[in-house]
Structure formats: structure tokens, C-alpha cells
Amino acid sequence: MKGRRPLDSAELKNFEIFVSQRADEIVQKWIDYFVLHKKVKFEKVTRKVR
């Protein structure tokens, strides 16, 4: 993202783990929002996922 620093290697690894663990949910929300035009509840992640 323009104006933001890239993730360092540890942050990038944590992000990859998060996305792989929640991939199905991410895809379903994408489909709900962009394909089915449903409202999607905002979800703030406040702790590390392991």
C-alpha cells in the first residue's frame, strides 16, 4: 500500500498463517459482498492467531 512500510519477515509469516487458517471464511465473505451484494460484518482481529 502506498505510503506504508512493507511487512518484515516475522509479520509476513504471521499474516500468511492467518490467511491460510481463515481462507475459507475470507473467500465466503468476498463472495457474499462482491457477488451476492450482501452486507458483511466487519471483524477486527485483536490477537495473534496460531
Does residue 34 have a pLDDT over 70?
A: yes
Three-state DSSP class for 34? helix
C-alpha span between 42 and 13 (Å, rounded) = 23
What rounded mean pLDDT belongs to the chain?
92
What percentage of the chain reaches a pLDDT higher than 70?
98
Does residue 48 have a pLDDT over 80?
A: no
The two counts, helices (H) then strands (E), for the chain are: 2, 0
Q: How high is the pLDDT of residue 24?
A: 97
Mean local confidence (pLDDT), 14-35: 95
- Number of domains observed in the structure of the chain: 1
Q: How high is the pLDDT of residue 50?
A: 67
Q: How far is CA 33 from the centre of its chain?
A: 14
State the pTM of this model. 0.75
Contact 47, 20 (CB under 8 A): no
Range of the domain at 22: 1-50
